[in-house]
Amino acid sequence: MDLGLQDKVYVVTGATRGLGLATARELAADGARVLVTGRGAAAVDAAVAELAALGDGPDAVHGLVADNADPGTAERLVAAAVERFGRLDGILISVGGPQAGPVATAPEEAWRDAFESVFLGALRIARAAAAALGEGGVIGFVLSGSVRQPIPGLGISNGLRPGLAMAAKSLADELGPRGIRVVGLLPARIDTDRVRELDALGGDAEASRAHHSAAIPLGRYGTPEEFGKVAAFLLSPAASYLTGVMVPVDGGALRGL
């Protein structure tokens, strides 16, 4: 199936590794123009080089060093995409996971930092993108299965992700009359550096992985590529009648409907 991505322009934040990079790979491979961001220049340059080799060459990819928590990032991203590629068709807002730990002991500073990057930073970027997008545009949020059920040991994520999901649902209502879609993705145990770090927190990463895999109906962790394909579809014109949805990418781990 042709997803209709050829020459479309997307911004993918946090795209130097993990889920953001996996999505950028799928977009670039299908002919989209992609602006990717990350917090380190070397990592951004490496991602740009990889994506240029997958897609239509260096002219189809641009990198920008940016931190989602910086209040100036949102306008910079949108302006850079329009200046480089002449338009903006969509954005995937992917941020790193907040500090692990229970609600009872997570320091207030960790909550503030996570709110700035995971919640407020994401909303700033979404609002800036909404102002630049036209009919057919799309805003995607990489959230977490913690939107629907708490994840043990991730108190801050459990607190912030559901609120951001509801803000995304509200934004879908607000932007729908303009023909702009808003979608969310709810990954669970995807085999990324972040999840490996979480598995290692208890001291036995292999045992943690086996424990979590046993709770997944498909019996295994997902791959970044599997996530990226779902994200690319949701961002594409092929998903033109999907908005306000939160799509689990979790191998069946979420038990509710």
Q: Which residues pair with 222 in a beta bridge?
A: 190
SS3 139: strand
Please state, in angstroms and rounded to a whole number, the distance separating the CA atoms of residues 23 and 12. 8
Annotation: CATH topology of 9-190+226-247: Rossmann fold (3.40.50)
By C-alpha distance, which of 186, 157, 171, 180 is closest to 247? 186
Q: How confident is the model at residue 56 (pLDDT cuts 50, 70, 90)?
A: confident
Q: How confident is the model at residue 256 (pLDDT cuts 50, 70, 90)?
A: confident
Please state, in angstroms and rounded to a whole number, the distance separating the CA atoms of residues 53 and 75. 28
Mean predicted confidence (pLDDT) in 30-41: 96
Q: Which residues pair with 12 in a beta bridge?
A: 36, 92
Sheet containing 9-12: which strands, arranged edge to edge?
61-65, 33-38, 9-12, 90-93, 138-142, 181-187, 246-249
Please state, in angstroms and rounded to a whole number, the distance separating the CA atoms of residues 27 and 24. 5
Say which residue the tokens 């995409």 belong to: 81
Please state, in angstroms and rounded to a whole number, the distance separating the CA atoms of residues 124 and 121. 5
Report the pLDDT value the prediction gives residue 52, as an integer from 0 to 100: 95
Mean predicted confidence (pLDDT) in 201-217: 91
Mean predicted confidence (pLDDT) in 203-230: 95
Q: Where are the beta strands (DSSP E) in the chain?
A: 9-12, 33-38, 61-65, 90-93, 138-142, 181-187, 246-249
Mean predicted confidence (pLDDT) in 26-53: 96
Report the pLDDT value the prediction gives residue 214, as an integer from 0 to 100: 93
| pLDDT per residue as tens digits for the range 93-103 | 987 788 899 99
Say which residue the tokens 């959230």 belong to: 143
The answer for residues whose C-beta is within 8 angstroms of residue 122's C-beta and 6 or more apart is 68, 93, 95, 141, 164
| pLDDT beyond 80 at 246 | yes
By C-alpha distance, which of 240, 224, 217 is closest to 192? 224
| pLDDT beyond 90 at 247 | yes
Report the pLDDT value the prediction gives residue 198, as an integer from 0 to 100: 87
The answer for residues whose C-beta is within 8 angstroms of residue 132's C-beta and 6 or more apart is 78, 82, 88
| pLDDT per residue as tens digits for the range 107-140 | 999 999 999 989 999 999 999 999 999 999 999 9
Q: Which residues pair with 184 in a beta bridge?
A: 141, 246
| pLDDT beyond 80 at 30 | yes
User: Three-state SS string across 172-201, please?
Assistant: HHHHHHHCCEEEEEEECCECCHHHHHHHHC
Percent of the chain at pLDDT > 90 equals 89
